[in-house]
Structure 1
């Protein structure tokens, strides 16, 4: 493994620097307990800059975690995209195998599935960010290999301080010739419960269409504000529930009313739900490619924004008319201030 790591010679970070950055891996700095170790937040002075970081400490007892450690470094060091988390460096010493990446201030998508503050427009943009990231992983012009992520779920989708998507969790990723990306690739880790491609059991491995199935589950999580596995319904999967309602035309029954009220374009919801449903097809051959998903989600967002731009002037006119009526009753000074405030608010949006 040491010889393999030589290709990443520009990325090592001394263990003592990471220890200092995380206050000796203090429990107050724990972000999450992941499948391969614990992630800590910290502040690292590196290359003359003080940076907010995430230090992911791999559990490598008895050799476990070595392959995942290498897989993540290999993927992140060779991939550059605005919707992927960025690697700063790593520590590979006897006392610790740690990957240091940029800290994403708003945590994971999984924390906000039930949030009333995450609007439909924001949710669409997050979905589109993941779709762009996966499209880049599966195919990029001029690159002779594809990356199968193999771990798409709401907790590996991170959000920065501007709520932009940053895909993480590459410890189980697989590099495959771009010409062979439809070929089945054996994989010990098959995904998170509720997000696992059911075709794995039949074929014995994954393809890039396994990522698409998992993404379909995430799309319905974002729409229905539910976990991938519904424990209070006998561990029923959201995929099963969503497919059941979609096929019967009752999808609105499992969408929270506060979110449903924000979806101003019925066509936007139709396009979104149709592409999410197509991702969950049991037959991999009938699941869409990522570039197709990107185009559909862009259209869904465009329709939502178009309707928002229509609705906003209507309400502005309504309020202006209301305040003008008060003006006719002699409330000039109060109305003038109110009108001015409304106009400013509208202009800022």
Structure 2
């Protein structure tokens, strides 16, 4: 959606107000801008924008320095990419302006600023928790997984500049990937590699293999994201002067020497998680182990050894489940005891299975069912029921679960028939 230069100049008072940051790309301003409501836009060039409903809201306005090399190319590339890639974890493009010599991009405003900014002030954020940091990581991972996946005519995208400064947070601390000026589309062919003569990215976050031989693949983003994960773990930015060899190498060394807890942000170490019966200091150990293991894999030297973002998403979901279950596991156990006073083990198992089947969310019940499993054993249930729960807890495939369940139902029917 093209936005008139006059409207932008009015909102920023000719770029004299609302300036928040400058960089090699240009400057960013915050302003309240009236623009056409995109919900009413029609896919036609003849539509008169002046007659369409408008709305006024706060936006981020990036005024690109057109003296920079490849500024114009990056400007139109970002418009094309953000127009085709719409996802809840990618910053939405409100519009653009290319009147005269101006190259201006207008984005939805992320009111909590960049992750880079938050990392440097997290000590003052009373709502900062390990679970919240996991959610931020998970949001970025989902956005990257979307970019790395082809769908219809949309090609895979390599961002090329994943770093905490390019991860924006809205008012609810939902992560949004931003700044696609260096991004590029990849071929739809499998395992496509693009060789670039112009190396682009940020030192400290850049894939070493890409920096060495120009070999650009999706795995380059995976490496950069691994650096961001360790930024979130440590509560510091990658370019902090205390890292003599860089955050990535420091993190790998600590992980290999089993000293990763030394890098953990002191605020997270001191975090208190309260349950009904006790208070627990620090993050859940299983959650931390899953997080650090997948972050370490992302930093593998060879691109072929790094996990896909889909795998990273799955692991972060598991890490989050272990952390959030920490507070509720005891109350869940008590609830099960109460429910068992009203129904036998088999009836409750059937009810829970049907509920999970209907919602199709096996994995979200997995952690809590560890406690259910232990309780079922204490009620002396038969071997076949125990076999099902074992398969369930160890995350066998859905098909196998269905086969086991069908078998159990048959066995139960046989027993009841006798």
Q: Structure 1 length normalisation: TM-score?
A: 0.82
For residue 10 of structure 2, what is the aligned residue in structure 1?
20
**Structure 1 residues 74, 309: CA separation in 2 closer, same or farther (over 3 Å shift)?**
same
Find out whether 1:142 has 2:152 as its counterpart: yes
**2:97–2:104 CA contact under 8 A, matched in 1:** yes
**Structure 1 residues 299, 289: CA separation in 2 closer, same or farther (over 3 Å shift)?**
same
Q: Give distance in 2, aligned partners of 1:82 and 1:217.
A: 22
Q: Aligned match of 1:296 in 284, 304, 315?
A: 315
Q: Aligned match of 2:87 in 39, 57, 81?
A: 81
Q: Aligned match of 1:269 in 271, 288, 295?
A: 288
SS in 1 for 2:216: coil
Counting matched residue pairs gives 302
Find out whether 1:43 has 2:32 as its counterpart: yes
Q: Give distance in 2, aligned partners of 1:205 and 1:35.
A: 24
SS in 1 for 2:112: coil
**Structure 1 residues 78, 206: CA separation in 2 closer, same or farther (over 3 Å shift)?**
same
Please give the residue correspondences for 1:46-61 in structure 2 after superposition, counting only pairs within 5 Å.
46-47=35-36, 48-61=54-67
Q: Any stretches of 5+ residues in structure 1 without a counterpart?
A: 1-10, 315-349
**1:76–1:86 CA contact under 8 A, matched in 2:** yes
Q: Give distance in 2, aligned partners of 1:209 and 1:62.
A: 28
Q: Rg larger in 1 or in 2?
A: 2
Q: Give distance in 1, aligned partners of 2:199 and 2:94.
A: 26
For residue 211 of structure 2, what is the aligned residue in structure 1?
201
Shift of 1:144: 4.6
Q: Aligned match of 1:92 in 94, 98, 108?
A: 98
For residue 161 of structure 2, what is the aligned residue in structure 1?
151
**1:184–1:203 CA contact under 8 A, matched in 2:** no
Find out whether 1:163 has 2:182 as its counterpart: no
- The CA RMSD measured in Å over matched residues stands at 1.9
Q: Structure 2 length normalisation: TM-score?
A: 0.69
SS in 2 for 1:112: helix
Q: Give distance in 1, aligned partners of 2:81 and 2:320.
A: 30
Shift of 1:100: 0.6
Please give the residue correspondences for 1:1-349 in structure 2 after superposition, counting only pairs within 5 Å.
11-26=1-16, 28-47=17-36, 48-61=54-67, 64-114=70-120, 115-116=122-123, 117=125, 118-180=128-190, 182-186=192-196, 188-234=198-244, 236-262=245-271, 263-310=282-329
**2:145–2:309 CA contact under 8 A, matched in 1:** yes
